[in-house]
Amino acid sequence: MVLPTGFGLPPVPYLAALAGGTLVVSALLVALDPPIDQRIVVALAPWMAIGGTLHALGQPPIEVYDPVLRPLFGTPSVYFTTYVTLGTVWVLLSLFGVRRGHDETVSRNLGLTGTGILTVLLVLAAITALRSELLALVWPTVAVVGAVVLSAITLLLVALWRTPIIVRTRYAAPVVVFAHAFDGVSTAIGTDVIGVGERSPVPRAIMDFAGTLPTAPLIGEGWLFALVKLVVAVAVVVLMHQYLEDEPAEGSLLLAFIAAVGLGPATNNVVLFLFTPV
C-alpha cells in the first residue's frame, strides 16, 4: 500500500466538477502566461498551507463542513479544490495586472491574497477549538519555531558549504527547506508527543525502523523522518539550482510542487494540534 489512509476519489459529480475546473483554470493560465520565477514559489507558499488547513477543517474533531461540501476537502480532492481556487485568483490578478500594465506585481498580490485567506482560515480553526474547549497553542508553536530554527541552520550550513547554490536559489530554497523541516518536525511531534498515528505508509515505515534503534527510548521515532525530509529537501535544492537558473519558470514550478508536498501536510498537522490540549 503506497497511498495514505483515507485516500479516495469523491463521487462522480464532484470529480467531474474538479476535473473540469482544473482543465479550465490550467488552460487560462497557459494562455495568459503570467511571469513565473522564484518569487512565485514564495507567493504559492500560503496557498500550500491553505490546502492543508482546508483538509484539517474536515477531519475529526473539527468537521466544520456541511455534508454537501465535505467531498471537496478530502484526499485527494482538496488538492484540486485548492488549485482551482488558486488558479482562479491567479487568472484574475493576471488580467488585472495586464490591464494596468503592471504584471510584475502579480506574484506579490497572489501571495498577499493567499496570506489573507490563510489567516482567516487559521482564525476560524482557533475559534472553533476555543468554542470546543480544546484550544492548544503549545505544540503548534513548538512545531513552527522548531521548523524555522532547523531550516535556518540547514540553509546556513549549505551556504557555508556551497554559497553559490543558496545565492541562485535565494527565494525558492528557504521555502522548500522550511516546508520539509515543518513536515518533519510536526510529524515527529504528532508521533512521539501527541501519539497520533501516521497515515502515510512511507513515513510510517521510516519511523517504524527508527523505533527499532537503541535511540528510540531516548528520543523517539520521529527524528529520523525529520532528518530524511531535510536531507531530501537539501538534495533537491542542490540538484536543481543550475536548472532553476537555466529554466526559471519550469524550475520554479517544480520546486513549488516539491515544497507543497511538505507544507500542505505540515499545516494539516498543526491545525489538528490546535485541538489537542496538553
**Phi/psi at 241 (5° precision):** -65, -35
Give 173-213 pLDDT, tens digit per residue.
999 999 999 999 999 999 999 988 777 788 889 999 999 99
Which residues lie closer than 8 Å to 83 by C-beta, 6 or more apart? 22, 25
Q: What is the mean pLDDT of residues 134-147?
A: 94
**What whole-number percentage of the chain has pLDDT above 70?**
97
pLDDT at 3 over 60: no
Whether the Cβ atoms of residue 265 and residue 5 lie closer than 8 Å to each other: no
pLDDT at 161 over 60: yes
CA 51 to mean position of chain CA atoms: 7
Widest CA span in the chain: 63
Q: What is the mean pLDDT of residues 241-262?
A: 95
pLDDT at 276: 82
- DSSP for 155-181, written as a single string: HHHHHHH-HHHHHHTTTHHHHHHHHHH
Give 45-79 pLDDT, tens digit per residue.
999 999 999 999 998 888 889 999 999 999 899 99
* Mean of the per-residue pLDDT values of the chain: 92
pTM: predicted TM-score of the whole model, two decimal places: 0.94
